Structure 1
Amino acid sequence: TVVLCPLSDAATPNCPLLGPVFPKPHNLTSSSIMQAAFANFTTFLQGRDAAIEGQENSYSLEVFSGGDQDTSAFTWYHTATNLPSFNSTGVTEVDGDSVYRIGSLTKLFTMYTFLIEAGDYYWNAPITDFVGELQTIAANKTGDALNKVSWNDITIGALASHLAGLSSDTSVMGELTQSVPDNIELVYLGFPPLPEADIPTCGTWPECDRAEFFNILQRFDPAFAPFGTAAYSNIAYQILSYALEAITGKGFEQMLDESIISRLGLKSTSYNAPYESVGIIPGTVKSTNWYYSLGEENPAGNMYASSSDIARIGRSIINYEILSGPQTRRWMKPTSMDTDPRAAIGAPWGIRSIYLNNSFAETYRVVDTYDKGGAISVWVSFMVIVPDYDVGFILLIAGNNINDLEMQFLDAWGTIIIPALEATAKDQAGTQYAGTYSVAAPSGNSSDAILRPRTPAGPPPGVSVAEDVLNPTNKTLSNSTAILNATSSAVPYDASSPLNSSMTIVMDEKPGLGISSWISNGTDMRLTVAQLMTNYSDPYWIDLSIRLYPTDLVVTDDGTRTQSFKALFEDLASPLVEKTYSTACATWIGPTAYVYGSLALDQFFITTYSNGTVTIDPRALRVTLEKEATSPSKRNIRKKPVL
C-alpha cells in the first residue's frame, strides 16, 4: 500500500454533496447524544416557562422522526399561568391534543392536498385554464404591464411558490378601509378621500363570496412580473383551491378531509372551527376570534390542529406514506432564492440553510430545513422538516404577549437539537459501518467474472522510459510514476489464488464515511484513483480524500437493508479559493466520472443483514467485502452474485 503525501496540511476542506452526509439517525430516544440534547432543550424550556413568556403564553412543542409510531421523540406542553384569569371556555391544561388556530400553516395542508389529488402534472399550466373568472378578467381588462395582471402567464406552480407577482391579500387583510378602527379617519393619516365605488363592501366583515372576491381582485395592479421575485400571497392559495376543484370536480373541503384528515386518522384537525372546549383559547371566543372564518380565503389560513396531529402529518411526508419518494423530493426543493443567502422559498416552504461549520473540516456542511409558519389573532404555529435526518419540529403558541417567543424556540431548536442530530447520525454510522472489510468467501470473485491477463502499454514509438524520466514535465507520457499500479509487476488477477481485496472505513472529524484503505486483489485503489484524477501523472503529490455519502436509493427486504452510497474523490491539497466565481466547492459536477464496464467507480452498495452482518460492494470491482466480525457470534453470509 502506498501512502499518499499531501503538499500541505488540509489546504481545502471536503465539499460534500448537498444532503445528508451520514445515513439518517434512528431510535432517537435511545441515543445518549439525543438524550443529552433533549435535557439541554428542557432546561431552556423550563427557563421560558418560569419567565414572563411562560406566564402569559401556552405552547405545545414536539420533535418527531420518521421512525416514530404514535409518540414523538420529545414533547413539551405548557399552560400559561394567567390562563384561568381569562375565564376561557377552552381547555384548562395543554397537551398534545389541544387545538390551536394555525393560520398560514394551513397552506401546507392545501399544498399537500393538491399534490395528493392532482400531483404536479399541471405545475406549468396557466391558471386561466382552470379558473374561468380569471380567463374573463384576462380577456376583458384593458391596460398595460403596469396595471394589468398577466394572468395567462401565471401558472399553478407560480401560485404555489409565491412567484405569481400578486398582492398578499385583497380585502380580508391589509385593506385599510376594512382594518383601521372606526374612530380613526384615514384622511388624517395622509390618505385622500375615496369614492364610494372604490371602497370594498366585503372582506374582514362581511366576508366576500367568490364573485365579490374576483370583482375586487380585478381592480388590483400587479405587484411584480410573474416569476420576477418571490412575494408572499394569500390570494395565490385561495385561487389554487379553485383550480384544484376544477381539476377534480370535488369541493376543496371534501378533498382535504379525504386526502389527509380521515386518511391519517387526525382527531384534532379541522378546516373550520371545532367546538371551543377542545381549544387553547387565551380569552373569550369573541375576543380571540375563535369562530371567525376567513370564508373563501380559508385555504390560505383558516385551519385548526393539535401538535400531535401535525406531527402525524409530518411523519406521513417523511415516510412517503401518501406521496411517492420522487414526488416528495420534488416538492421539498426551493423554487426561488431570497436576499439572505441562507434562505430560499418553496411551495409553500420557507427554506433555511443551517451551517454546521464548527471546524475547518465542516466548512461546507449545510443542513436545509423546510419550514412553514402561521399567525392569526392570538395564535402562532410553526412546522419544520429536516430531510437530512427525517426529523421534524412542531411549535404551537397561544397567548396575548407572544412577541418573538416563537423565534426563541426555533433558535434553541436549531442550536441545540440540529447539531445533536448530526452527531447522532455520525455516531450511529461509525458503530454500524466503521471497520475493515474483506473477502468473506474463499475465492471472493463472482462466478461469472472474466479474468484476463493484462499487458501494460509501453511509451509511444520513439520515446523511451528513460527519456520520460528525464522530462518530468511530460504529463502526457507519464514520468517516473509510469510504473505505479499498471505494470507487469502488478498482476491484476490470478484466478487460482484467493482474492486479496479489502477496504477500511473510518470515522473522523470530516463529513461522510472515510475510506482510508482500499485494496483490489493486491492493488492499491486509492493510488489508482489518484492516477485517474491526475491523468496518470504525479499522483503522489495530491492529498487524496475518498468520502462515502448516502443516497436516497434504498431497498429493504425481510430484515435486509441495502443503501447506495456515492463516493467523492477530492484533492485536499488544492488551494482554498473563494472568489467571485472561483470556488473550492463544486463537487456536484464530479459524480460518476469514471466507469468500468458501465458500473461507476464511485458507487458502493452497503448491506446490513438481520443478523448484524454488514457488507460493501464497490460496484465497478464486482466484489462483495464483508465487515470483519467484532465477536464470534457474527457469521459469514453466502457469497452474493454480481448485482
Structure 2
Amino acid sequence: MLPTLTTSSLLLSCLNLGALAALNGHCPPLGPVLPAPTQPGKHEAIPAAATALRDILTQMTASYNNSAVAIGVKSIHETDLLFEYTYTPPNKDKRGVQEVDLDTVFRLGSLTKVFAPLALLKLKDRGVSLDDPITKYVPELRALKDQAREDSPVWTVEWDEVTLGSLASHMAGIPSDLITDIAPFGDLSAYGYPKANSSKFLGCSGFFGTPACNKTIFFEHFGERPPPQVPFSPQTVYSNIAFPILSFAVEAITNQPFADFVANEIWKPANMTRTFATKPDDALGFIPAKDIWWPADLGFEGPEGGYFSTITDLHRLGDAILQHKLLSPVQTRKWLKPVTATSSSGLLVGQPWEIFRAENVTSDGRLIELYTKTGDLISYHSLLVLIPDYDLVATLLVAGPGGAGEASGSAMTLMMSRLVQTLLPAVEKAGKAEARAAYAGRYVDRDTNSTITLSLDDDEPGFKISSYVMRGVDVPATDPGSTLPPATVPRLDPPMRYRLYPTSANSGRGQTSWRAVGTRATAADVEKQDGLFAWRMNSCITWAMMDRVTFEFGARDHFVFDVQQGGKVKGVEAVGYGVRMKRECK
C-alpha cells in the first residue's frame, strides 16, 4: 500500500495542476517550445521546487523500514545535480552499504534492456540496421520450429519476419520469457494446474537457489513456447527474452561476449565506473534485510534485467545519450522516437523506451514526452527518465521487500510523477528567463519599414509575436492563411495570433532556426470545433501546415536568428519576406 500524502503535499500538487492554463487555441509543434535552459540551477524557482519535492518524498518514505531510495535530477549542461534525494531504512542487510548515497549500487532489472539496442546502433558502421532480420545474425533460431506442436502462426514464430528493431520495441510477437515457468516450484493443483511433468523442467532459472540457465537451454526449449502474436501485430506484447536474443546478434557480429562489448563501447566512453554485468562486491550495494534477489544470476538472460548500477552512473549514461557522445545526433534523434502505441493514450513504446505523455505539467498545458525505461526484479526497482525538451535526466533507484508500507515499482513511478509535476515547472521558468534575456524585444529594419516584437509575458507556449509588420504591411490583419493570397488584400477581424517556436536546426555558427505558427481561433472556438469529433484535438494539425507558404523558395513562417557569443541575439531574418531586422531593445 502506498503512503498517504498529507494535505500540504496534496495541496502542492493540486496548486500545480490548478494553475495550468489552456493552450488558448494554440497548437504548438511537438517538442520544445523554447530552447532548453543551460543554467537552470541558477534560477530562483529551483530551490523552492526542490524543497517542496523533498517534503513530498519524505512523506512518501516515512513508513519505509526496510526500503531504500536514491533519486537524482540533472541538466546535461551543468555539472551539479538540480536535485538529489536518498533514504536509508533502519533495517538492512549487514553485507551491503549502511548509508545510501548516489554511488550506492542497486540492481537495474529491466532498465538493463537499454544496452542491447544501443549496442546494435553502435554497430551501424559494420552495416547493421535495426531493420535487419534477426536470422541474418542468429540463423539457428529457425530450428526452433522443430520443437513446436505444429508449424503454424498459432504455435511457431516465423523468425525470418522478426527484425532487430521489432525485438527492441516488443513488436516481434515472440513469447515473453523462458525462465519464469512456475511448474517446478511446488504442487499448484490448488490453482487449477495439472500435475507437473518433470521432463518439462528446465532445471535452471537463477532463482531460489537454482543454477542460471545458459544459451544451450534456450535453443533446446524455447521453440516449445507458442507465440502471443505475429510480428508487427497491433497488439504490442512486452518480451523479456527479446533482449538476450539481441545480445546473441551482438556477439555474432563482434565475436566477443555481449557484456564485454557493452563495457568497452558504452560504459567506458560514458565513464560509468560502477556499472556491472554480474554481482559486484556486496559492500558496494544496498541489500534489503533477508533479501535473496541481490545475488540472483539470470545467466544468458542477463541482458534483459541482470545488470547493476548507481544514480551517478545512470546520469552519466543519460548525459552521454543526450549529448550525442555514444551515437551521432541524427542516430540519437531517431532512437528517441516512438515506434508503436499501447492501449494507454499516455504511453507509447520505443526501442526499448516507455514514453509517457503528460499534458498537466507545464503552465501552457502542452504535451510533454518523457523517454523512460523502468526495471523491476522482485525487490529492486529502477527508472531512467530522459526529457529532451529540457535536456534533463532523472534517475530513481528503489530496493525493498515490498508489502504494506514499503517501496514498490508503483511507488517508484508515483515518485517520478511527483518529481515531474513539482520540478519541471521550475525548470520551465528557468528556460523562460534565459530565453527572455536572449531573444525578447523589438527587431527593426527601417529601410523596409519592418518590425517584429517578441515577448514572454503570458503562460502560452513559445514566444508571442506582436507588432508584426513586413514592408509596412500589418501581417496579422492581412494573412489569408495557407492559401494563395486573394487579389484584394483582406482585413481580418480578429487578426491572426502568432507564436514562435525553435526547431532542432542550429548552424553551430551562431544561427538558430525558428518557425511561426498562427491561429485566429480562440480556446472556445477550438473546444467547440473539436467537440464534433470522436478523437481529441482534431484541429491541432500544425505538423501538416508548417513550411507551406513560400515566396522565392523562402517560407513565410521561417525565422533565423543571429546569436552572439554569450547567447544574446543581435538580429533576425524573416526568410520568406527577405527582411533582416536588428534587435533594438528587450
TM range (shorter): 0.7 to 0.9
Partner of residue 587, structure 1:
542
Partner of residue 19, structure 2:
none
- Distance of 2:60 and 2:154 partners within structure 1: 49
Structure 2, unmatched stretches of 5+, are 1-21
- Distance of 2:120 and 2:323 partners within structure 1: 18
Equivalent residue in structure 1 for 2:325, among 304, 321, 324: 321
Preserved CA contact (<8 Å) 1:117 1:259 = no
Shift of 1:280: 1.2
- Distance of 1:11 and 1:610 partners within structure 2: 33
Matched, 1:31 2:33: no
- Distance of 1:56 and 1:504 partners within structure 2: 57
Preserved CA contact (<8 Å) 1:91 1:98 = yes
Shift of 1:176: 0.8
Partner of residue 505, structure 2:
553
Preserved CA contact (<8 Å) 1:554 1:564 = yes
Structure 1 residues 201 and 399: CA distance shift in structure 2, 3 A: closer
- Distance of 1:277 and 1:513 partners within structure 2: 52
Shift of 1:152: 1.5
Matched, 1:622 2:554: no
Structure 1 residues 254 and 410: CA distance shift in structure 2, 3 A: same
- Distance of 1:556 and 1:80 partners within structure 2: 48
SS at match of 1:530: coil
- Distance of 1:606 and 1:295 partners within structure 2: 54
Shift of 1:417: 1.5
**Deviations 1:249-278 (CA, angstroms, capped at 9, x unpaired):** 332111101111112222211111111111
Preserved CA contact (<8 Å) 2:444 2:583 = yes
Matched, 1:341 2:345: yes
SS at match of 1:90: coil
Matched, 1:241 2:247: yes
Partner of residue 123, structure 1:
130
Equivalent residue in structure 2 for 1:144, among 138, 148, 152: 152
- Distance of 1:575 and 1:341 partners within structure 2: 21
1:75 is matched by which residue type in structure 2?
E
Matched, 1:196 2:208: no
Matched, 1:52 2:56: no
Structure 1, unmatched stretches of 5+, are 1-9, 445-497, 631-643
**Deviations 1:402-440 (CA, angstroms, capped at 9, x unpaired):** 13431331121122112322333233322322211113x
Preserved CA contact (<8 Å) 2:147 2:221 = no
Equivalent residue in structure 2 for 1:571, among 507, 520, 533: 520
Structure 1 residues 356 and 424: CA distance shift in structure 2, 3 A: farther
Shift of 1:146: 0.9
SS at match of 2:561: strand
Partner of residue 389, structure 2:
388
SS at match of 2:479: helix
2:583 is matched by which residue type in structure 1?
K
Per the normalisation by structure 1, the TM-score is 0.80
Preserved CA contact (<8 Å) 1:118 1:248 = no
Equivalent residue in structure 2 for 1:522, among 456, 467, 472: 472
- Distance of 1:542 and 1:585 partners within structure 2: 20
- Distance of 1:145 and 1:417 partners within structure 2: 48
Partner of residue 488, structure 1:
none
Structure 1 residues 302 and 515: CA distance shift in structure 2, 3 A: same
Equivalent residue in structure 2 for 1:409, among 387, 405, 415: 415
Partner of residue 76, structure 1:
85
Partner of residue 159, structure 1:
167
1:3-18 matches, cutoff 5 A: 13-18=25-30
- Distance of 2:375 and 2:526 partners within structure 1: 45
State the aligned residue count. Answer: 544
2:474 is matched by which residue type in structure 1?
D
Partner of residue 98, structure 1:
104
SS at match of 2:417: helix
Shift of 1:289: 3.1
* Structure number, greater radius of gyration: 1
SS at match of 2:118: helix
Matched, 1:606 2:561: yes
Structure 1 residues 437 and 249: CA distance shift in structure 2, 3 A: same
Matched, 1:544 2:500: no
Shift of 1:140: 8.1
1:415-426 matches, cutoff 5 A: 415-426=421-432
Equivalent residue in structure 2 for 1:431, among 431, 437, 442: 437
Partner of residue 449, structure 2:
500
Alpha-carbon RMSD = 2.3
Partner of residue 302, structure 1:
306
Shift of 1:107: 0.5
- Distance of 1:607 and 1:249 partners within structure 2: 49
**Deviations 1:317-345 (CA, angstroms, capped at 9, x unpaired):** 11111211111111111111111111111
2:502 is matched by which residue type in structure 1?
P
- Distance of 1:399 and 1:201 partners within structure 2: 28
Preserved CA contact (<8 Å) 2:482 2:548 = no
**Deviations 1:360-379 (CA, angstroms, capped at 9, x unpaired):** xx45x100001111111421
- Distance of 2:397 and 2:240 partners within structure 1: 21
Which moves more between the two structures, 21-30 or 614-623? Answer: 614-623
Equivalent residue in structure 2 for 1:43, among 55, 67, 82: 55
Structure 1 residues 159 and 23: CA distance shift in structure 2, 3 A: same
Preserved CA contact (<8 Å) 2:558 2:576 = yes
Preserved CA contact (<8 Å) 1:530 1:542 = no
SS at match of 1:64: strand
2:240 is matched by which residue type in structure 1?
N
1:127 is matched by which residue type in structure 2?
I
Preserved CA contact (<8 Å) 2:270 2:316 = yes
2:539 is matched by which residue type in structure 1?
A
Structure 1 residues 358 and 130: CA distance shift in structure 2, 3 A: closer
- Distance of 2:265 and 2:198 partners within structure 1: 44
- Distance of 2:317 and 2:538 partners within structure 1: 39
Preserved CA contact (<8 Å) 1:11 1:575 = no
Structure 1 residues 432 and 191: CA distance shift in structure 2, 3 A: same
Structure 1 residues 532 and 102: CA distance shift in structure 2, 3 A: closer
Per the normalisation by structure 2, the TM-score is 0.87
Equivalent residue in structure 2 for 1:281, among 277, 284, 287: 287
**Deviations 1:464-489 (CA, angstroms, capped at 9, x unpaired):** xxxxxxxxxxxxxxxxxxxxxxxxxx
- Distance of 2:196 and 2:309 partners within structure 1: 40
Partner of residue 209, structure 1:
214
SS at match of 1:628: strand
SS at match of 1:29: helix
Partner of residue 31, structure 2:
19
Report % sequence identity: 28
Structure 1 residues 358 and 257: CA distance shift in structure 2, 3 A: closer
**Deviations 1:579-616 (CA, angstroms, capped at 9, x unpaired):** 12682211110011111111111111123212644321
SS at match of 1:163: coil
2:71 is matched by which residue type in structure 1?
L
Partner of residue 224, structure 1:
229
Shift of 1:357: 7.2
SS at match of 1:213: helix
1:320 is matched by which residue type in structure 2?
H
Shift of 1:161: 0.2
1:131 is matched by which residue type in structure 2?
V
Preserved CA contact (<8 Å) 1:165 1:225 = yes
**Deviations 1:77-98 (CA, angstroms, capped at 9, x unpaired):** 2211223xx4x12111111111
Matched, 1:290 2:294: yes
Preserved CA contact (<8 Å) 1:130 1:247 = yes
Which moves more between the two structures, 256-265 or 612-621? Answer: 612-621
Shift of 1:138: 4.5
